[in-house]
Structure formats: C-alpha cells, structure tokens
Amino acid sequence: MVKNLRKLRMNKGISQQRLAEVIGTSQQSINKYENHNVEPDISTLILLADYFQVSVDYLIGHTVDETERQPKLELDKDESCLVLNYRQLSKDEKRSIQLVQKNYLKRK
C-alpha cells in the first residue's frame, strides 16, 4: 500500500483526477492506491515519488521522515574522501570534528 500518497496529495492540494493526469493513469487507480491496498507497479511508484519529490521508501511508508526531500549533493574528490573518512570515526571523534567545524564557521 502507498501509505503516504493521500497525505502528500492533500498537502499539495491536488485531486486524485489531477494526479492521475500528471502521472498518466486513471483516477480510479489513484483511489485504489490510497484506499484499497492496491499497489502500483515500480514505474508508477517512481513517477509518484518524483512528482512529490520524495523517496519511494517514504511514499510506501518504509521511512517516516519526509525530510528525504533534500537534494542530493554532488561531491568532488576531496569532499568524498572527507565523508568516507568521517564515517569511519567513533561517535566522540565525530563530535570533535563537528566542534572544530563550528569554530571555523564562527570566524566568518
């Protein structure tokens, strides 16, 4: 079931009919996705997720955090290396790095 479809649609203020037109399906299909435990195929899920700018995971209720709308960052080689190294640090080491970063940003 597409658990968050109705919520997303209502937040955007569009009807089932309009959403159906946008993604190329019928209003009846949208109604079934929202109310009758009918699951769309993967290509329809992707169209819905793209339209609402959320992940498929959020759309189907696998994640509860809508903040996945954040744009993907394109990292250069140095930035990628920093992220990979950061992920290997302990919790305390990460806190230290965060403090250093905050101190540098305060200087600006």
Closest CA to 8 of 42, 36, 27, 34: 34
Mean pLDDT, the chain, rounded, equals 86
Q: How many CB atoms lie within 10 A of CB 26?
A: 12
Per CATH, the homologous superfamily of domain 5-69 is: lambda repressor-like DNA-binding domains (1.10.260.40)
Cα torsion for 75, 76, 80, 83, to the nearest 10°?
Answer: -60
Query: What is the DSSP code (8-state) at residue 37?
Result: -
Cα dihedral: 22, 24, 28, 31 (round 10):
-50
Q: What is the pTM of this model?
A: 0.59
Q: pLDDT tens for residues 16-69?
A: 999 999 999 999 999 999 998 899 999 999 999 989 988 898 998 888 766 545
Domain layout of the chain by residue ranges = 5-69, 77-106
Q: Higher pLDDT residue, 16 or 79? A: 16
